[in-house]
Amino acid sequence: MLIVGVTGGTGSGKSTVCTYFKEKGAKIIDADIVARDIVLKGMPALLEIKEVFGSDVLFSDGSLDRKKLGKIVFASPEKLNILNGITHKYIIEEIKNKVFSSNEKMVVIDAALLFETELFKLCNKTIAVTAPENERERRILKRDSLEAETAKNRIASQKENSFYAEHSDYVIVNDGDLDNLKSKTGEILKELM
Ligand code: ADP
C-alpha cells in the first residue's frame, strides 16, 4: 500500500487534489472530517473541550458549537494550541485506524497539519499544495461563506506556503485554473505509480 500525504494551508486546493486521486481509485482520508467526527456529542474529545473551554462552546443539546469555538481559537494562537493538544491525539488514532483497515493500493491523507503532527511519518510520499494568499482567501470566502476577517485569521493561523513546500517530496503550485490543477496532479500520480 502506498500512503500519500497531501498538505497545505486552507484554500490552497488540497481537497480538490484529493478528488483527482479518488477518481484514480485511491482511498481518501480527510483529516477535517475525522476532526469533526471525534468531537461529536458524547465523544471523549468533546468532554475534554468542555472542561477547558466551558459549556459556552456547546449548544444546549450538548453538541459542539463549532463556529463559536472556531472564532475563539482562530483569533488566539495560544488557545488554538490548547485545542490542538486535546484533539490531535484522537485525530491521529482515528486516521491510523482508517489507514490500516484499508485494502486500496493507494491511501491519501488530506491534512493541513501533516507536518505539525506525526501524521507525515505514516506517509511514503508527501505533496504540498500551495497558492497565493489572496487567492486562498478569495476561495475560502466563497467556499465557507466567511466574513473577510475570519478568512484572514484562518490563513494567518497556519504556516506559510514555504513551510509546506520545504517539507514535502512534491509541490503543486495551484495558481491556475482547475484544469491546470488536474494536470499537475496527474503528473505526480504518474511518478508515484
Ligand atoms: P483546501 O482543501 O486546501 O482547503 P479546497 O480544495 O477545498 O482547498 O479548495 C478551496 C476552494 O477553492 C474550493 O471551493 C475549490 O473548488 C476551489 N479551488 C481550488 N483550486 C482552484 C482553482 N485552481 N481554480 C478555481 N477554484 C479552485
Residue 42 grid cell: 458524547
What does the alpha-carbon distance between residue 56 and residue 59 come to, in Å, rounded to a whole number? 8
> Residue 13's closest CA among 190, 114, 154, 143?
143
Residue type, 181: L
- Return d(Cα 114, Cα 122) in angstroms, integer: 10
Find out whether the beta carbon of 143 lies less than 6 Å from any atom of ligand 1. Answer: yes
The pLDDT of residue 176 = 95
The whole-number pLDDT of residue 71 equals: 87
CA distances from 166 to 128, 155, 171 (A): 9, 18, 9
Neighbours of 99 (CB within 10 A): 17
Alpha carbons 145 and 177: distance in angstroms, whole number: 21
Query: What is the atom index within ligand 1 of the atom nearest the CA of 18?
Result: 6
B/e letters for 45-58, b = 16+ CB within 10 Å, e = fewer, are: bbebbeeebeeebb
For the entire predicted model, the pTM comes to 0.90
Query: Is ligand 1 within 6 A of the CB of residue 174?
Result: yes
Phi, psi angles (nearest 5°) of residue 192:
-70, -35
The DSSP code sequence of 1-17 is -EEEEEE-STTSSHHHH
What's the 94 CA to ligand 1 centre distance in angstroms?
25
| Closest atom of ligand 1 relative to the 129 alpha carbon | 3
Please give the Cα distance from 114 to 100 (Å, whole number). Answer: 17
Per-residue pLDDT of the chain (193 residues; tens, 9 = 90+): 999 999 999 999 999 999 999 999 999 999 999 999 999 998 999 999 999 999 999 999 999 999 899 889 978 989 999 999 999 999 999 999 999 999 999 999 999 999 999 899 999 999 999 999 999 999 999 998 888 888 998 898 889 999 999 999 999 999 999 999 999 999 999 999 8
Amino acid at 140: I
> Does ligand 1 have an atom closer than 6 angstroms to the CB of 136?
no
pLDDT at 157: 83
What would the pLDDT profile of 96-124 be if each residue is shown by its tens digit? Answer: 999 999 999 999 999 999 999 989 999 99
Return the pLDDT at 63.
Answer: 96
Instruction: Please report the pLDDT score of residue 85 as a whole number.
Output: 94
5 Cβ inside 6 Å of ligand 1: no
Distances (CA, A) of 155 to 109, 148, 149: 21, 11, 10
C-alpha cell at 129: 499544495
